[in-house]
Chain A
Amino acid sequence: MKKYILKKLALSVVTLLLIIFILFLLMELMPGSPFNNPKLTPEQKEALIRSYGLDKPVLQRYFLYLGNMLKGDFGISYSLSINTPVLTLIRSRLPVSMGIGVSAMLVGSAAGLAIGFLAAFHQGKAADVICMIVSVIGISVPSYIFAIALSYFVGFRWNWLPLLYDFRSPVISSVMPVLSLSVMVMSVIARFTRDEAIAVMKSDYVMFARSQGISNRTLLFHYVIRNSIMQVITVMTLLLVGLLTGSLVTEQIFSIPGIGFLLSSAITVNDYNVVITLSFLYAAIYVVARLFLDILYGIIDPRVRLGGNER
Chain B
Amino acid sequence: MADKAEIMLEIKGLDISFRSAGEMFHSIRGVNLVLRRGETLAIVGESGSGKSVTMKAAMGILPDNARINAGSILYRPEPGSEPVDLLKASPKWLRDNIRGKSIAMVFQDPMTSLNPTMTIGNQLIAAIRAHEKVSRKEAADRAVTLLEEVGITEPERRMRQYPHEFSGGMRQRIVIAIALSCNPSLLICDEPTTALDVTIQDRILELIVSLQQKRSLSVIYITHNLGVVARVADYVNVMYAGKIIETGTIFDVFYDPRHPYTWGLLSAIPDDASGEELYSIPGTPPVLSKEPAGDAFAPRNPYALEIDFKEEPPMFRVSETHYAATWLLDERAPKVERPKALNDRIEKMKKEAAEYVR
Chain A residues with a Cβ under 8 A of chain B: 123-124, 202-205, 207-215, 218, 222-223, 226-227, 300-303, 306, 309-311
CB–CB B99/A205 < 8 A: no
**A303: shortest Cβ distance to chain B, in Å?**
5
CB pair A205–B100 under 8 Å, yes or no, is: no
CA distance A207 to B99 in the complex (A): 11
- Cross-chain contact B107 with A207 (CB below 8 angstroms): yes
- Interface: B280 (CB within 8 A): no
A306–B165 Cα gap in the complex (Å)? 9
**Contact mask for chain B residues 107-134; partner A; CB cutoff 8 A; 1 contact, 0 none:** 1010011111110001100110011000
Instruction: State whether A212 and B99 are in contact (beta carbons under 8 Å apart), knowing that A205-B112, A207-B107 are contacts in the complex.
Output: yes
Inter-subunit contact B101/A311 (CB<8 Å): no
Is B266 at the interface (CB under 8 A from chain A)? Answer: no
**Residues of the B chain whose Cβ atoms lie less than 8 Å from the Cβ of A300:** 117
Contact A210 B99 (CB under 8 A): yes
Contact among A212, A218, A222 for B179, CB-based, below 8 A: A212
> Which chain A residues border B115 with CB–CB below 8 Å?
205, 209, 222-223, 226-227
Chain B residues within an 8 Å CB radius of A214: 100, 126-127, 130
Q: Is B28 part of the binding interface, using a Cβ–Cβ cutoff of 8 Å?
A: no
Let me know if B167 and A311 touch, CB within 8 A: yes
Select which of B104, B107, B123, B165 is within 8 A of A309 by beta carbon. Answer: B165
B179 cross-chain contacts in A, Cβ below 8 A: 212
| Minimal Cβ-Cβ distance residue in B for A215 | B130
Contact partner of B116 among A211, A218, A303, CB < 8 A? Answer: A303
Q: How far is the CA of A237 from the CA of B233 in the complex (A)?
A: 54
List 12 extra interface pairs beyond A218-B126, A311-B167, CB under 8 A. Answer: A124-B64, A204-B109, A205-B116, A207-B61, A208-B178, A209-B126, A209-B127, A211-B99, A212-B130, A213-B99, A223-B115, A309-B165
**Which residues on A sit within 8 Å (CB–CB) of B167?**
311
> Given the complex of chains A and B, what is the CA–CA distance between A212 and B98 in angstroms?
9
Residue B325, interface by CB 8 Å:
no
Which residues of chain A are within 8 angstroms of B104 by Cβ–Cβ distance?
211-212
Given A303-B162, A310-B164, CB of A211 within 8 Å of CB of B118: no
B113 pairs with A204, CB closer than 8 A: yes
> Which of B287-326 touch A at CB < 8 Å?
none
Partner of A302, one of B98, B101, B107, B162: B162
Partner of A213, one of B96, B112, B175: B96
Provide the bound-state CA to CA distance between A207 and B166, in Å: 20
17 A/B residue pairs, CB under 8 Å, sorted by A: A204-B109, A204-B112, A205-B114, A207-B61, A210-B99, A211-B59, A211-B99, A211-B107, A212-B130, A212-B181, A213-B182, A218-B126, A226-B117, A301-B117, A302-B117, A302-B162, A303-B162
State A309–B163 Cα separation when bound (angstroms).
12
Partner pick for A212 among B112, B118, B127, B165, CB 8 A cutoff: B127
Given contacts A124-B64, A303-B162, A306-B165, are A213 and B98 in contact (CB under 8 A)? Answer: yes
**Chain B nearest Cβ from A216, distance in angstroms:** 8
Q: Do A222 and B116 touch across chains, with their CB atoms under 8 A apart?
A: no
Query: How many contacts A-B (CB < 8 Å)?
Result: 91
Contact among B98, B113, B162 for A205, CB-based, below 8 A: B113
- Within 8 Å CB of B114, what residues of A? 205, 208
What residues of chain A lie closer than 8 Å to B35, measured between beta carbons? none
Q: Are B131 and A213 in contact (CB under 8 A)?
A: yes
A208 to B114: give the CA distance in the assembly, Å: 8
A35 to B: closest C-beta gap in Å = 58
A123 CA to B63 CA, complexed, in Å: 12
Closest 8 CB pairs of A and B: A212-B100, A213-B99, A213-B100, A204-B112, A302-B162, A211-B105, A208-B113, A205-B115
Q: How far, in Å, is B52 (CB) from chain A's closest CB? A: 10
- Contact between A303 and B164 (Cβ–Cβ < 8 Å)? yes
> Which residues of chain A are within 8 angstroms of B164 by Cβ–Cβ distance?
302-303, 306, 310
Q: Bound complex: CA of A223 vs CA of B101, how far in Å? A: 20
CB of B95 closer than 8 Å to a CB of A: yes
Q: What residue in chain B is nearest A200 (Cβ atoms)?
A: B115
Q: Which residues of A contact B99 (CB under 8 A)?
A: 210-213
Residues of A within 8 A of B162 (CB): 302-303, 306
Give the distance to chain A from B89, nearest Cβ to Cβ, in Å.
13
- Output the nearest chain A residue to B123 by Cβ-Cβ distance: A209
| 0 or 1 for each of B218-251: is its CB under 8 Å from A? (1 = yes) | 0000000000000000000000000000000000
Rounded to whole Å, the gap between the CB of A232 and the closest CB of chain B is: 14
Bound Cα distance A123, B175 (Å) = 29
Q: Which chain A residue has the least Cβ–Cβ distance from B98?
A: A213
Q: Which of B59, B107, B165 lies in contact with A204, CB distance below 8 A?
A: B107
Distance from B163 Cβ to chain A, minimum over Cβ atoms (Å) = 8
Contact with A along B149-174 (1 / 0, CB 8 A): 00000000000001011110000000
In the assembly, what is the distance between CA of A306 and CA of B167, in Å?
Answer: 15
Residues from chain A with Cβ under 8 Å of B64 in the complex: 123-124
Q: Name the distance in Å between A1's Cβ and chain B's nearest Cβ.
A: 14
What residues of B have a CB within 8 angstroms of the CB of A223 in the complex? Answer: 115, 118
Cα distance A55–B173 when bound, in Å?
A: 73
Residues of A with C-beta under 8 A to B100: 211-214
Give min CB distance, A5 to chain B, whole Å: 19
- Shortest Cβ distance from residue A306 to the other chain B in the assembled complex, whole angstroms: 7
Min CB–CB distance A200 → chain B (angstroms): 10
Q: Which residues of B have CB within 8 Å of A212?
A: 99-100, 104, 127, 130, 178-179, 181-182
Q: Which residues of A contact B165 (CB under 8 A)?
A: 306, 309-311
